[in-house]
Every structure is written in structure tokens, then in C-alpha cells.
Amino acid sequence: MEPIYAEESARHAQPLPLIPTPDRYAAIRSATESLCAPLSAEDAALQSMPDASPAKWHLAHTSWFFETFVLGPAVPGYRAPCAAYHHLFNSYYQSVGTPFLRPRRGLLSRPSFDEVVAYRRHVDAGMTDLLATPDIALRSGLLAVIELGLQHEQQHQELLLTDVKHLFFQNPLRPSYRVGAQTPGAAAVPEQSWREHPGGIARIGYDGPGFSFDNERPRHRRLLEPFALASRLVTNGEWMAFMADGGYERPEFWLSDGFDTARAGGWCAPLYWERGDGGWQLFTLSGMQRVCPEAPVCHVSAYEADAFARWAGARLPGEDEWEILAAGVAVEGNFVERGLLHPTSAGGEGDALRQLFGDVWEWTRSPYGPYPGYQPPAGALGEYNGKFMANQSVLRGGSCATAQAHLRASYRNFFPPSARWQFSGVRLARDLR
Amino acid sequence: MEPIYAEESARHAQPLPLIPTPDRYAAIRSATESLCAPLSAEDAALQSMPDASPAKWHLAHTSWFFETFVLGPAVPGYRAPCAAYHHLFNSYYQSVGTPFLRPRRGLLSRPSFDEVVAYRRHVDAGMTDLLATPDIALRSGLLAVIELGLQHEQQHQELLLTDVKHLFFQNPLRPSYRVGAQTPGAAAVPEQSWREHPGGIARIGYDGPGFSFDNERPRHRRLLEPFALASRLVTNGEWMAFMADGGYERPEFWLSDGFDTARAGGWCAPLYWERGDGGWQLFTLSGMQRVCPEAPVCHVSAYEADAFARWAGARLPGEDEWEILAAGVAVEGNFVERGLLHPTSAGGEGDALRQLFGDVWEWTRSPYGPYPGYQPPAGALGEYNGKFMANQSVLRGGSCATAQAHLRASYRNFFPPSARWQFSGVRLARDLR
Amino acid sequence: MEPIYAEESARHAQPLPLIPTPDRYAAIRSATESLCAPLSAEDAALQSMPDASPAKWHLAHTSWFFETFVLGPAVPGYRAPCAAYHHLFNSYYQSVGTPFLRPRRGLLSRPSFDEVVAYRRHVDAGMTDLLATPDIALRSGLLAVIELGLQHEQQHQELLLTDVKHLFFQNPLRPSYRVGAQTPGAAAVPEQSWREHPGGIARIGYDGPGFSFDNERPRHRRLLEPFALASRLVTNGEWMAFMADGGYERPEFWLSDGFDTARAGGWCAPLYWERGDGGWQLFTLSGMQRVCPEAPVCHVSAYEADAFARWAGARLPGEDEWEILAAGVAVEGNFVERGLLHPTSAGGEGDALRQLFGDVWEWTRSPYGPYPGYQPPAGALGEYNGKFMANQSVLRGGSCATAQAHLRASYRNFFPPSARWQFSGVRLARDLR
Amino acid sequence: MEPIYAEESARHAQPLPLIPTPDRYAAIRSATESLCAPLSAEDAALQSMPDASPAKWHLAHTSWFFETFVLGPAVPGYRAPCAAYHHLFNSYYQSVGTPFLRPRRGLLSRPSFDEVVAYRRHVDAGMTDLLATPDIALRSGLLAVIELGLQHEQQHQELLLTDVKHLFFQNPLRPSYRVGAQTPGAAAVPEQSWREHPGGIARIGYDGPGFSFDNERPRHRRLLEPFALASRLVTNGEWMAFMADGGYERPEFWLSDGFDTARAGGWCAPLYWERGDGGWQLFTLSGMQRVCPEAPVCHVSAYEADAFARWAGARLPGEDEWEILAAGVAVEGNFVERGLLHPTSAGGEGDALRQLFGDVWEWTRSPYGPYPGYQPPAGALGEYNGKFMANQSVLRGGSCATAQAHLRASYRNFFPPSARWQFSGVRLARDLR
């Protein structure tokens, strides 16, 4: 597969504010389409479960976002190519209409893939004109919404990959999304060590000059007790030790909801694992592969992560603990630009904090909620994040399917604790003293 | 749309046994593909409900049938193009393996539409060779299975249409399957009159020289009481009178299961009807149209048909009553070859029995069961019909989506009494004296 | 347990019309209460599943029937003790109001058991007065409804027992309803032989002077092909041979719906069977007992009965075949009056038809439907039977929980083919020639 | 109804450690039975939903607790009266066996109410002997478990009331639990004012000499931003203003999960509210009553509470905010000892913090989780609280169904945010500056 963000791969941190220049707009939009290159129109139309969406729907919805929140309000006389799209590709914004029901997104053979691409072209033309407007730099509110649209597009790039992976796994043919690419062998992993922190009052949340989501704001104070964070992610090998010790059958390690969920779902290993003749295998975007003991465990729910931590005599990190230690680390790692689309082992030596960024999203023990003083934006965009602040857990750090420039130490991802189809893994923490 | 069986359209009855000649094989197989001509690969991949299948699956399954029951057993060294198809495209034959679960048929973006067409080509090549074998005429058992495969293919042609119609109806865009064709205006319908029958002992079931399904055999005696059959189908106009009289809300007309089903489903009109500004409209394979009062009502369940009949002071016919009166009537009517894909009004004058064949399948009051002395075939093909003889009602006469040469007076179709997505309608009957 | 119909136990057939005399009214009403003698108020209040009702509800509903259809219409100024009972104890009569939802019958701790008994007293007082009216014998329509009320009461007596049995089985304590009674040892069973019938035109249905339900009428002609009926019921021993031969796992014996139902329910033996240390045991109204190989199999669904018959190279009887052979046999057997409340072995010698009446209801292959010319009564009582004529199978012959005087050769019981909690068993049949 | 804790009603705070003296044991145990005085055995046997339990089950389970965790381990040769109780009355302790499934608790007519009372007597005899042991005061671990058993019993006293209320509401007769008692008229409520707090580092959690649950420990530091807490609870009158303003229909006030839950459940008012001829009525343990505008709103979910707060321009309090202001307030209020079993209005004048304790549990915005350094106890009692720390929200302050001596400022109750059948209400909070 071609690199999807050629111009960004070299970048490490985020020194300057992101600005939605025409080039950046074009690069991010075309990256979404690059992700669809290995897909047929059929692949792009199917929906494997209510939580996932067809690739085609992601393509259309991200365009709907620019149309609804940028072109419609900002371009006099803008005409949508099809009035029905306003309903079909609204995800969950009640303030701007009635969204088409999520579990029915896989019933739309029309508009066709090609029509959706044409829709993207239509929106792109409008956006390109708008971005070329002479006074655009003066309209900071508009630029902020455009930037939000680009960040939103990057979020859906990741979802597009996780949703295709889930779809392909339903097919007994086990199709491979990524054809002809080599998956590098995993390096030996260093011993897990503990990075300690003395606690005290510290600040988390974003207040820099660049983009951030509303849920990362305001930056605020936290009081921490002394703690330690593991130097690397939990590996498949360690997970197999948990399984071998009866981890999935012993209720003493589990939250009650978690144990019920695991039993109801017949869980006895991470999602995508299958027992084969030669041992455990797992499904990847490159097809079935042997489970590599050195690679980080992936596709586990927060319930499993929590049970593993208890078994290991540790706990999951708080999102504040994670952010405070991550704040000083460069945002580098196995992101989508590397093209592996699968987590890989930590490698290296010494006890530096590894893999904080990329590879797998790291479950925290923090329920997803508002920061002190949090205010959602006025209007429909206030529905972007705030209304989901119940029954979800925070994940941190990005994954092998995340765009590198999309990530920050303060970035908060969130999913229900039962979710497994994201690239989600585990880093341990523990109390000190 | 092109006529799908050019060479058959002129044929009326079934004077001679059908023989699976190479030409007939080719005509029927290509007819299936003609039905897919208006469909994109995306259209063909989606599944709207567990009862329906993707068009692509119908294409593959009918080929699987020839492969499994003809080529595999009869052609030494026959090789299937993909071993997994044996599982994926098995509908319900437990004797030859574990079928892929029906509600998951819509999760298969692979094999692609093109790959499925290639699979058809592979099977067709094998079948063409086999049918050209010099001694083929001597292998009557084999010919019988091939003929069964062709009849099976014709059944799936009809299902392909009903399933596409159901899928397209889920889409708020209300796509049209049949583009550019004219739907002829409906003619005035004659008054309904009653064709009487004195009762007595009569024979039903098939024992002629041509093809029949096992469930039509053996031909056997029935004792009938005097009865009368309506001269034509119930119309939309009559159905609207039923609705206006509170038909859907008054439990006194309904079977208990029927009333519960109607309430749970929110039924207040036939499937595909929608109240518009200018009155009732209905969804057809040519898109939304005004409800034509003269046309036969269609897409009603057996529960609704039964309630209507009770409201009308009549009852549904028994399948034996229907067959005995239909036996003397030419198998002519609005079949799939006519290309309307929608029932049309009876037209004409006088009180001849009209519309017995084509237009809509007619619900009977007969539960689907074995005829006296019925024996399913030995082996897996014994699963074809016999194992469904519970909780289903018999329908007779074929529809606007049925191939004309596929039909007979003795033909027994069957669906659960709650099913509405077939082209199913109503003809009344009543006791005499 | 005391005999519940002392004055009726000696009676065998039904030589004269039943008349709802005050004595008969009192005997049948008190029999219902006798059945509750072993129950606590708690036992009588609980509901184990939506298909079953609390014993207390049966007590109340049967009184509601007399109140609604007899006292209300016939006694000027009759006052119901509680207006809400009209709603609470309506089973399914939509014409007289909105029934309280069946699955919620187990949520009614009030009225208390004692209040329900007081309600019965109130109704009984009204009925006793009415039956003592001088001109009552002249009001034949009224007498017919009263007789219907008594027959209805007897139906609920049986349901009360089957529902208590199902409830007690949910309790790990496995309570015994029938305490201190001896279950007689089972006698050896004679070989199964076949009673042949030459077929031809015969009449079934009731047209005698006594009571019958509307669904047994009109008496009408049937055309039968030659058949044979097994001389006795299928035994537990024979059923265990079916199980040992993989009967529950082999789809070739099963209807498709039946196999799916069996798999979804995890069926591997009749309901109430449990594998114990010393072999199979079953739950009875006298508690857990060893499975007696000679006793008739019981608590099997029509699906299982049908699969067993296919395994045995036979089939289930038609209800007409059954009735024609049963018409000449005295209505004697192991009925509720004997107090066993469990089927017992056939005993005896020779090849007479045994056990046609009592022991277990015998599944037929006949879907429950209207006889030719059937008309339900006008008004609400038309809902008694007619509206259930879909998706049910006919059973014949009564069981060890049926009142003997309640039964006739023409009596039609009906349940969905998946039902197992009635005392239902199997007699085989086969085609001749 | 008699006061259930005569000797405790006068007590206000909790000056000294609670000790499980024989008198206290007897008083608390008999209080549970006093709560059952208005119930028949039938009332006590029924279960209205999987979340609720029959009263009889509460009686038995609380005894099982003493038997399993005290008598079994501490009394050599202790014999349980029935081995099966160990299974039947285990709520959720996986470490000591397999609990009987919660949704099936309403299927147990046996053991009878009287047998369960006898079981209580048996356990009480054992406990009384044990508490009279000379050296008991030396066995502090044992005393701690006994005290936990008493606190556990008090929790089930409240659940018994909420579960009976829910059960009675299912019955169209709307039975009254509390007969003959007067509900005092509601006093006028003072204006809501705001009690401010400057924020900073404060401590919450329990570290006193008395009893506390593990989830209240350890006492630890919190960093608070400046906030204000409303001086009283939200009233029915204020809630009706929310309803009149479209509160239940306007998604902008709601969390996404909350809005979906409300729509799926058809919520348009608090649980137990019904629109009558003369306006809104609500079901209480004293039967149906008019909604009193001055009384606190009750039986709302956390979702509704959160939506109301957003509508009101406020938010729910954090549990730490609540505790810090409550720490200085006497634990007095409308508790179960007062016998009203219904919240009442605040009354009084001035802007003191009112109703912090009693009346209704107050939803907080805090997800239920472990305090920093939390460790569940070793062994089965570690399952008491810790394993429920997911998907639940914390409530504070106790209700009109809580025992006064059971409550503390640090007490943490928890329920899923969708739960409505507890006595749960709302106090507003807001950020300062």
C-alpha cells in the first residue's frame, strides 16, 4: 500500500498550529480515498454490525460534514447534489435533522460507490474554492470548523480500517485488505520496567496554539497520588500466560459486567484470535497470521484489560497519569503512515517509556466525562463529543491505524468498555507506596 | 428490460415433458443473469432481512446446486473452483455439510460479483459438456436431477426479484429496478362473480409426463363439499374498503396470531404501501406509483388475506378446490416474461375465471403438508421440500415474477402465513348451500 | 389426593346429554378447588412462563367466564364484586374488553388467593340461584352457555395441573405436588401391533345429543386411504432407543423448524428428563422418579413426535384416522379421576387398541383448522376456538390430567408443535400398501 | 405502620462506633420482618423485573449472608437447615458457589414464607449464641463481618421497599403497602439558593472509628475547583416546568444514551407518574396520590437528572463536592424511621443546606469507581462492592426508605444511570466563576 500522507511522515511532534490550507485539505481528503483503494464497491457497501459502518458511508459522511457545517452556512447559494444525502449521511446530529438509523447503513446500495466519490468531488470543489477565497484567513471561526472537519475525517479514516477489518473477519474466506506487503518480524521485547511519578498537583488538557477537541479542554489541575507506569505495552505472550492461568474463567479477576459480557460472548481470547493446528492465529488486515508473542496484545475490551491487570497485580492507568507522563514524549511510533496496520513489538533496550504513541490505543481506568469547566460548543457541533460522556472509557495514545499528526498527548478517545474491534491494548500501572 | 425467456413467451400450456436440453439449460441460466442486468455489484451484495438473500448469493447458490448434485457425483475428476463455496452457498442441505448461516449471507463482499459470474461460467462449462455426452439420454436419474436444477433456478429467479424489491424499499431513495419501462394503465375490472363446483370425489396432484416437484405427488383423491370460487382476484379498491371499515383494527376478523403479528408490526395497509399527499402510493420494481384501485392487491400476508375474507363474508379457497378448477385453464397470464413485474387488472368481460395464473400468488387456507402417500426422495434432495411441512400455508398460481413454463395447476408454493414480501394476493371462495 | 369427581368415576361412555344441573355445577366447580388443595397461596400466585398461568388465575378466570357470559347477561342487577376483575381475568376475549396481558398474570399478588376464592363463592351463589330458577329448563341458549362454562372449567383444571408442574420444575427443590401417594409399578407392555383400516369415505365430527365444542362440528365426510394405527403408545424404552441412535442430532429425521427449535432449546430428551447417577430420571407431580421404560413417553413436542415417527419408519396419525378408530372404543383409561397424574403402561395382552383415551394426548399430523362448513358462534364466544386455527397441531384422546367425562372421540385439543409442557405423547400410524 | 427502629429514631449523628451487640442484632433483624408485616405470602413471593427481588428472597438472602460468612466459618458443627439454600439465596458471590439466577428469583414458591421465617429463626438462634460467647469481643475480624451483615441487612430493607413498590405498581389494582397512615401535607418550599465553596484540596472518604464500606475508603485528598451546591432538592413543580418546556423531547439537553433510553422506554415523566383527569398523579407506598409541586421529584434516572440540570443551566454535583459540604451537617431527615416512605418538602426558611440526608438519593455526576489506593477485602467479601465499579453512577444522602443510622456523609450508593425504581432525585450544582 502506498503511504497515505507522504508529506507528513517525517514530522514528529506538532510544533506549530495546524492550518487548513488547500494542500492540507487535499492531502487528508485524498488519504481517505487511498484507504479505499484495496476495496471493491461491494466491500465498501457492507456493514458487519450496528457499531460499524460501511466504508462508503464513511466516505459520504465526512463529505456531509463539510457540506453541512461549512459549505451550507458559508457559501451563498451552495447546492447539495442530492437532498436525501442530508438525511442518509447524518451520523447523530439531532440538531440538524433526523439521522438515518445507524444499524441500517448497510442497506444502502445506492448511492453507488462512484456516486459517493462524485459527491466527494462536488464537496471538494466547493471547499477548494472556499479555501482560495482571499479573506479566508480572517474568518477564524470558519477556519476552526474546517479544521474540525479535517480532524473528523482523520477519525473516520481509522474507523474505516477497523470496520473493514471486522467485516472481512465475518467472511470465512478471510480476505486480506493489504495485499503483497511484508509484515516485519517482531523484535525481542525488553523486560517491563516501571516509570515512577511522585504525584502532586499537575495540569492536563490542551491549551496550546494548535487544534484540539473540546473534550481536551480546559486545561486544568489534577491531584495525583504517587504512581508508576509500565515502560511498555502488555504482549501477546503475557496475555497467553493469563489465558493459561484460567484468566477468562476466574471471576475473581473481573468486574461483574465484564464477566457477564465475556460469558455471554463466549470470550476465551482476544477478538480475531483463532486456535489453529499450530497454535493461536489472529486475523489482521494482511490476513491470518501466527500470534507473535512479542507483539502487543490488541483487540481486547476494557473489561479484559482490567481483568488482566488485576491478575497481574497491577491496575489500568488513570488518563491523567498517562497524559502527565506522555506530555514529555515525542509523538512518534507505529502510526498509519508506516503502513503496517498492525501493532508491532517495542524493540530497543533500556527502560524508556515505549509505545506511548501508535501501535494500540491504551485503555485507562477513567470513565469518559467532562473536564472541570467543560463547555460544549454552541449549536449542532456541541453534539460532537459532549453527549457521549456516559458509559464509556477513555483510551489514549493512538494506534497503528491513526494518523500521526492527528494525535496529541492530551487526545482522548473513548469507547464502551465492552468494545473490542478497535486497535485497543493495555499498559499497566500501579500505586506507589 | 429485455424479455428474459424469448423462446418461451409464446408457449401457453405444457403439452410435452420438459427435457434439460443444452439450449434449455442455457436459456434458463442466462435468464437469471438477465435479471441481474439492472443491478450493480453493490445492489447484488446486500441483504435486507434474514428471510431474503443477496442477488449474488442466488447466482452462486443455483450454481452450487448443479455442482453439488450433478457435476460432483456425475463427472469424474470434477474440480470446484473454490472449496469454500461448498459451505458458503449451501442453503439448507444438512446432509451435504453445514450451511453458512442464512442471516449472514449479506456479509460476503467476497467472492465478488465477477467471481460469482466466473463460478457460473465454470459450472456452465461442466454442464454443457455433460449435456453433450452421447449417452446422456440414457441416464434418466441424472436428467431428472438436472431438470430439478433448472426448476430450482427458476424459483430463485423469482426470489431474486422479491428480495431486490425488499432491499430497494429499505433505501429512502426508493431506487427503481426497472428503468424506462412503461407500466400500462389498468383496465376496468369486471364484477366479481362465483364459479360453482358441486363437490364430490376428485383428484389433485401431478402424474403427467413432465416435471413436477415431489410435493405435488402422488396424485390422489379428495372429497370436496360444494363450493364456489371467485372469478377474479381481490382488488386494491376492495382492499381500501376493508381498510376504511377498520379492517386492520377490528379483532373479530382476525386469527389471534394474525392480529398479534399485525399489531406488533404496525400493519395498517399492505407491505410497500405509503400514505402520500395525494393518497396511497406503493413501491414497485419501477419505483413509487399511485395505488391503482383496479389492480389486484399484492404483498399481503395470509393473515391479512384471511381477515379480509372474513370481513367479506367469504373464506380463502382450499388448495384442492383451487387446483380442481384451475386444472382446465390454460397456464397463461401476467408472468415474468411479460416484463411488467407488477400485477395488473383482470380486464375483459363475462364471468370466466380470470387471473388464476400469474399476477399474484393466491393464498389458500391449506396448511402445507404431505399428500397421502408422499415420500421425499432418498438422500440430500429429500430435504428440498419435505422438511418445510410445518407452519406454512400453500399459495397457488404463480405471479408476475414467475416464469410461465415453471408453473402448473398442481404447483404448490408455500410461505409462513406472516410473509408479505412475495407477490401474494387473494382470491375468495365460499361454501355452497 | 382425594378423587376429584367422586360421582363420575364409575361412568364410562357418555350415553346421555350432559345437563348443567346444580349438582353437576357444584361438583365441577369444587373439583377445581380440590386441585388447589396441595397448593399454598404462594404456589398459586406464580407464573413460570408466558404460556402458563398461575393457579390462582385459573381459579379466577373460570369464574369470570360465568360472570361475563352467564350472570351478567342473564341476571338483572347482577353486581360483580370488583370491577377491575373484568379486565384482570379476561383471557383473550377482545370483544368484551382489553385482556390483561398474559405474560403479566404472575405479577398479581392481589387479589389474594382468599379473595379469589371469595370471588368464586360470589359467582357460585349467583349461579346456584340461577340454576334453581323455575323456568331455567326452557332457556336452552342459556343452558348451553352454562354447559360451555363447565366444560371450560374442566379444560382449566388440566391446565392448572400442567402449569403447576412446569412451575415446580423451575425450582431446584423439585417440590412434589402429590404427597404421600403411591405410584403403581408399571406392567410389562405388549408388543406393538397394527390395527388396519381399509380407507374409504367415513364421517368424523360430533352430531350427538350431548355437549361438543364448535370446533368438533359439523360432522362431515372424509375420504381416507388405507392405513394402520399402532395398538399402543410409544414407550420411554422405545424413546431411549431413538435417543441412543442419535435421534436428537440427526437432521434427516426432523422438520426444519423442529430441528432449529430443538437446537435452540438444547433438547436432547423429553421435557422434565434429567440424567442422574443411576440413569435417566423425570420430574412428575409426585417428584423425581426413575424413567420407567414400559410407561408411555410424555412431554414431547409435535416436532419430536414427528422425528421419532420418521426414525421408526412410520408417521403420525391424521386426526380423522384416529377418530374413526376411536369412535368405537369406550372412553376409559387413566384419567384425572384415577389420581395418578402420570401416564402408566398399557398392560394387558392381545392386540386391542389400548390407551386411546387418557394417559397422554396423542399428537396427530393434522394442522388445527376448521371443519368444512364450520361456523364459530356469534358474539364473543366465537373467539373461544376459531381464532386459534393457525400454527397449531391437533392432539387427541385426553391425558392423565383430563376429566373423563370431558372427553369424546371427536374431541380436538390443539397446541403449537413446539409445546412440551402438556401431557403429550405419541402413537404411530402408517400407510397401507 | 409501626416505627421499625424504635430505639434509634432519636439518634442523629454517629458519635461512636457501632458494635454488633445482641440488642442491635435483634433490632435490625426484626426491623426487616416489620417491613414485611403489611405483605401477604403472595406479595412476598413475586418478582416484577430482573432488577428487583421478591421480599421473601430478601428475607432469606440476608440470613444466608450471616450463615455463609459468619456461622459457617465461626461455629464448629453449624448445620444449615437446608443445603439447597446455599445455592438459592446466594446473590452474586461466585467465590462461594454458583448463584441461582437473579431473573428466576420469582419462581420460588418454596421454601414458603413461613419456612423462610423459620430459616431466619434458625440463623438468629445461632447468631444470638455466638454473640453471647464470652470472648466475642476479642474476635474483631468476626465482629467486623457481623457488623457488615447488619449493614447489609439494612441495605436490603431499603431494596425490599423499592421492590415491593415496583411490584405493586404492575398491578392495575394499585395496592397500597402502607394502610391507614396519613401523608402530611407538604409545606411551602423556600427559594433555591446556592451554597458556595472556594475549592482547593480537601479530603473525602471515611476514616473514623465506626463502620464504613470498603468503597468509602481510603480517605484521600481531592482537588476541587470553586463550585456551588443548591440549598435544596429539585421539586415536582420545577420538574413539571421542565416537562412543559419539552424537556423529554429535546435532544439538546440529553446524553445520547439517555435520550435513546428515554425514547425506547416511552418516558415522558418520572416513573410512577400517571396523567389523570385532575392532572398528574403518582404511585406511592400509600397508593395513588396527586403530585405535590412542593415535594422533591423522585424516581428519576441519572439520565433525566442530567438533562434537567442542563435545561436548568446547571449540572449535577460531583460526589466529592457533595461530601465535602455534607460532612458538616447532621445526619437527620426524612428517613425510614419516620414511616412516611415518601419524600416530603423542604420546609423552613433561610438558605441552609436542606434535605442532604433522607427524602431521596441524590444523583451525582460521578461514575462509581475505586478511590485511590482502594483495595477490596480478601476472599468472597471482596465481591461485595468492588466488582460493580463500571457503568454505574454514585448517589448520595439516603432516602425516605433508608435507615438513619445506616447513613453517613461518606456513604456511596450506586446504580446504573438508567435506574428509576429507587427513591432517587436531584440536587443541582454549578461551577463558580
Please give the average per-residue pLDDT across B25-48, as a whole number. Answer: 98
In the numeric block, which cell numbers belong to residue A405? 499528526
Q: pLDDT tens-digit profile of D268-277?
A: 999 999 998 8
CA distance A380 to chain D (A): 9
Q: Which chains lie within 8 Å of chain A at 3 or more CB pairs, if any?
A: B, D
Minimal Cβ distance to D256: which of A372, A387, A431: A387
Q: Which chains lie within 8 Å of chain D at 3 or more CB pairs, if any?
A: A, C
Looking at residue C184, its pLDDT comes to 67
Q: Establish whether chain B is in contact with chain D, requiring a minimum of 3 CB pairs below 8 angstroms.
A: no
Please give the average per-residue pLDDT across B23-37, as a whole number. Answer: 97
State the sign of the Cα–Cα–Cα–Cα dihedral A264, A268, A269, A273: negative
Interchain pair D225, A94: CB under 8 A: no
Chain D residues closer than 8 Å to A259 by CB:
94, 387
Minimal Cβ distance to B223: which of C221, C252, C417: C221
Looking at residue D188, its pLDDT comes to 82
Per-domain residue ranges of chain C: 22-169, 194-431
**Confidence category of residue A11, pLDDT binned at 50, 70, 90:** very low
Q: 3-class secondary structure for B230-272?
A: ECCCCEHHHHHHHHHCCCCCCHHHCCHHHHHHHHHHCCCCCCC
Task: Provide, rounded to the nearest whole percent, the portion of chain A with pLDDT above 90.
Answer: 87
Interchain pair A41, B46: CB under 8 A: no
Position D19 pLDDT exceeds 90:
no
For the CA atoms of chain D, what is the radius of gyration? 21
The residue of chain A nearest to residue B100, with distances taken between CA atoms, is: A172
CA distance D39 to chain C (A): 10
CB pairs under 8 A between A and B: 82
Interchain pair B42, A106: CB under 8 A: no
Residues comprising chain C, all counted? 433
Interchain pair D391, A257: CB under 8 A: yes
CA distance C78 to chain B (A): 27
Chain C residues closer than 8 Å to B221 by CB:
223, 225
Minimal Cβ distance to A109: which of B46, B87, B88: B46
Chain B residues closer than 8 Å to C222 by CB:
223
Q: pLDDT tens-digit profile of C151-170?
A: 999 999 999 999 999 999 99
The residue of chain C nearest to residue D112, with distances taken between CA atoms, is: C42
Minimal Cβ distance to B110: which of A106, A111, A175: A175
Alpha-carbon torsion angle C262, C266, C267, C268, nearest 10: 130
Minimal Cβ distance to A256: which of D373, D387, D431: D387
Interchain pair B201, C221: CB under 8 A: no
Looking at residue C13, its pLDDT comes to 45
Tally of CB atoms within 10 A around B71: 20
Interchain pair C42, D41: CB under 8 A: yes
State the sign of the Cα–Cα–Cα–Cα dihedral A207, A212, A218, A219: negative
How many alpha carbons fall within 13 Å on the CB side of residue C181? 19
- ipTM at complex level: 0.94
Please give the biggest Cα pair distance in chain D: 66
DSSP codes of every residue in C344-393:
----S-SS----SSBSSEEEEEEEP-PPTT--PPSSGGGGTTGGG-SS-E
**Confidence category of residue C195, pLDDT binned at 50, 70, 90:** very high
Give the separation between CA D106 and CA D110, rounded to whole angstroms.
10
Please give the average per-residue pLDDT across D214-223, as a whole number. Answer: 97
Q: Cell 477478538 belongs to which residue?
A: A271
Question: Which amino acid type is present at position D426?
Answer: V
Determine whether A70 is exposed, middle or buried from the number of CB atoms within 10 Å of its CB (0-12, 13-18, 19+).
buried
CA distance B123 to chain A (A): 20
Q: pLDDT tens-digit profile of D276-291?
A: 888 999 999 999 999 9
Degrees, nearest 5: CA angle C258-C260-C264:
120
Position C10 pLDDT exceeds 80:
no
Looking at residue A161, its pLDDT comes to 98
Q: pLDDT tens-digit profile of C326-335?
A: 998 999 999 9
Interchain pair D173, C48: CB under 8 A: no
Contact between residue D398 and residue D361 where contact means Cβ atoms under 8 Å apart: yes
The residue of chain D nearest to residue C48, with distances taken between CA atoms, is: D107
Mean pLDDT of chain A: 93
CA distance D221 to chain A (A): 8
CA distance A231 to chain D (A): 21
Position B325 pLDDT exceeds 70:
yes
Minimal Cβ distance to A42: which of B100, B113, B168: B113
Chain A residues closer than 8 Å to D369 by CB:
365, 367
Interchain pair A254, D387: CB under 8 A: yes
Interchain pair B42, A112: CB under 8 A: yes
3 state SS of D212: coil
Interchain pair D167, C42: CB under 8 A: no
Of the residues B250, B252, B371, the best mutation for testing chain C's interface (the one with the most C CB atoms within 10 Å of its CB) is B252
Chain A residues closer than 8 Å to D431 by CB:
372-373
Please give the average per-residue pLDDT across A108-126, as a whole number. Answer: 98
Minimal Cβ distance to A255: which of D221, D255, D387: D387
Minimal Cβ distance to D95: which of A222, A252, A303: A252
Residues comprising chain D, all counted? 433
**Confidence category of residue C433, pLDDT binned at 50, 70, 90:** confident
Position D12 pLDDT exceeds 50:
no
Q: pLDDT tens-digit profile of A25-39?
A: 999 999 999 999 999
Position A144 pLDDT exceeds 50:
yes
Interchain pair B109, A40: CB under 8 A: yes
Looking at residue D148, its pLDDT comes to 97
Q: pLDDT tens-digit profile of D111-156?
A: 999 999 999 999 999 999 999 999 888 888 999 999 999 999 999 9
Q: Closest Cα partner for C234 from C277, C189, C169?
A: C189
Of the residues B59, B102, B109, the best mutation for testing chain A's interface (the one with the most A CB atoms within 10 Å of its CB) is B109
Interchain pair A46, B43: CB under 8 A: no
Contact between residue C225 and residue B373 where contact means Cβ atoms under 8 Å apart: yes
CA distance A87 to chain B (A): 9
Minimal Cβ distance to D225: which of A225, A252, A372: A372
Domain covering C194-431 in this structure, CATH number: 3.90.1580.10
How many alpha carbons fall within 13 Å on the CB side of residue B155? 17
For the CA atoms of chain A, what is the radius of gyration? 21
Of the residues A387, A389, A433, the best mutation for testing chain D's interface (the one with the most D CB atoms within 10 Å of its CB) is A387
Backbone phi, then psi, for A416, in 5-degree steps? -60, 150
Question: How many angstroms separate the Cα of A358 from the Cα of each of A361, A410, C175, D351?
Answer: 7, 14, 61, 53
Q: pLDDT tens-digit profile of A181-201?
A: 666 666 788 899 999 999 999
The residue of chain D nearest to residue A416, with distances taken between CA atoms, is: D391
Chain A residues closer than 8 Å to B106 by CB:
46, 106
Position A259 pLDDT exceeds 80:
yes
Interchain pair B42, A43: CB under 8 A: no
Partners of residue D196 on adjacent β-strands: D228
Interchain pair B172, A113: CB under 8 A: no
How many alpha carbons fall within 13 Å on the CB side of residue D363? 31
How many alpha carbons fall within 13 Å on the CB side of residue B67? 26
Looking at residue D5, its pLDDT comes to 65
